């Protein structure tokens, strides 16, 4: 038996309280960051960081659910980011993590929940990677400009915006990605913890997290240099203004003395 999971990032945030009013079912798991529903082998998993995961749903059914929860979406994305995952259930088999699928002797709703959680985090990391790469691309435009002309054409406000986006991405990762701390449901269940750790490796979550972290640090280091350049530029401008004011004062004094002679 094959169990197919897919997760889609549809917004930057999902209001789970609104989702609860739109889904006519009782959640099996309900917290500040997730809502998990399971009925007759079909599952829906909603995450507050904008990802929805499904099991047992066709593409049309998936789109219908996302359409139904539109009022709960905050800042919907124009292009969905998605990922898929498959669990092959073979009775009696030992759980093993392959390149494109996981083989398991048996699974239950809690295992599917953990699998959906990691799949959703994989999709979220894809979004964070895109944001960080976009920021790095913009930073490279300014560094190339600095190399060619010796001048930096970026305002203090734009630099602060870059820094704000980088810090927001870091904060979102810290709030939403359970790579270094296991979710509560795995704390007292050795089987679930093995699934969680195995899926972290399967999706390369730690490696991808480290890559994003390195990119954001690089961006931050560039912005520190930019800030120093802008500060020096503003200091030089201030010095020029002061010199001009002194010259004006001297010239005014000179003219006044001439007319007083």
User: Phi and psi dihedrals of 15, rounded to 5?
Assistant: -80, 105
Residue at 166 is within a domain:
yes
How many domains does the structure of the chain reveal? 1
What are the tens digits of pLDDT across the range 117-146? 999 999 999 998 998 888 888 888 888 888
Distance CA(260)–CA(230), nearest Å, equals 45
Q: Does a structural domain hold residue 249?
A: no
Look at residue 240 and give its three-state secondary structure. helix
Name the phi and psi angles at 203, rounded to 5: -90, 5
pTM, two decimals, is: 0.81
Q: Any residues with CB less than 8 A from the CB of 74 and at least 6 apart, and which?
A: 11, 12, 13, 14, 15, 50
Give the pLDDT score at 48.
Answer: 92
Residue 229: inside a domain? no
| 3-state SS assignment for residue 94 | coil
Answer whether residue 224 is part of any domain: no
Task: Determine the pLDDT at residue 14.
Answer: 95
Poorest-confidence range of 108-112, 128-132, 225-229, 255-259?
Answer: 255-259
**CA–CA distance, 138 with 219 (Å, rounded to integer):** 10
Does residue 32 belong to any structural domain of this protein? yes
Domain annotation covers residue 252: no
Nearest to 205 by CA among 136, 135, 132, 124: 124
Is-contact 179 196, C-beta < 8 A?
Answer: no
Residue 153, domain extent: 2-217
Confidence of residue 172 (pLDDT cuts 50, 70, 90): confident
Structure letter (DSSP) for residue 91: T
Q: Averaging pLDDT over each range in 139-153, 158-172, 220-234, which range is the top one?
A: 139-153
**Is 243 within a domain?**
no
Question: Does residue 226 sit within a domain?
Answer: no
pLDDT band at 96 (very low <50, low <70, confident <90, very high): confident
């Amino acid at each position: 038996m094959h169990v197919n999971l897919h997760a889609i990032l549809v917004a930057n945030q999902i209001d789970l309280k609104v989702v609860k009013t739109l889904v006519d079912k009782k959640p099996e798991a309900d917290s500040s960051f997730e809502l998990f529903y399971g009925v007759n082998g079909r599952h829906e998993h909603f995450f507050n960081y904008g990802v929805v995961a499904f099991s047992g749903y066709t593409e049309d059914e998936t789109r219908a659910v996302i359409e139904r929860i539109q009022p709960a979406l905050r800042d919907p994305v124009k292009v969905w980011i998605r990922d898929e995952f498959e669990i092959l259930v073979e009775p009696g088999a030992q759980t093993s993590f392959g390149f494109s699928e996981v083989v398991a002797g048996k699974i239950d709703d809690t295992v599917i929940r953990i699998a959906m959680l990691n799949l959703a985090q994989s999709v979220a990391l894809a979004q964070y990677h895109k944001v960080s790469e976009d920021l790095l691309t913009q930073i490279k435009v300014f560094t190339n400009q600095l190399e060619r002309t010796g001048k930096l054409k970026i305002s203090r406000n734009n630099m602060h915006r870059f820094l704000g986006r980088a810090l927001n991405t870091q904060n979102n990762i810290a709030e939403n990605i359970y790579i270094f701390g296991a979710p509560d449901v795995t704390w007292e269940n050795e089987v679930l913890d093995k699934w969680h750790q195995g899926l972290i490796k399967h999706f390369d979550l730690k490696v991808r997290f480290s890559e994003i972290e390195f990119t954001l640090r690089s961006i931050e280091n560039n912005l520190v240099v930019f800030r120093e350049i802008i500060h020096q530029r503003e200091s030089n401008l201030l010095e020029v203004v002061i010199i001009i004011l002194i010259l004006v004062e001297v010239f005014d004094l000179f003219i006044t003395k001439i007319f007083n002679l």
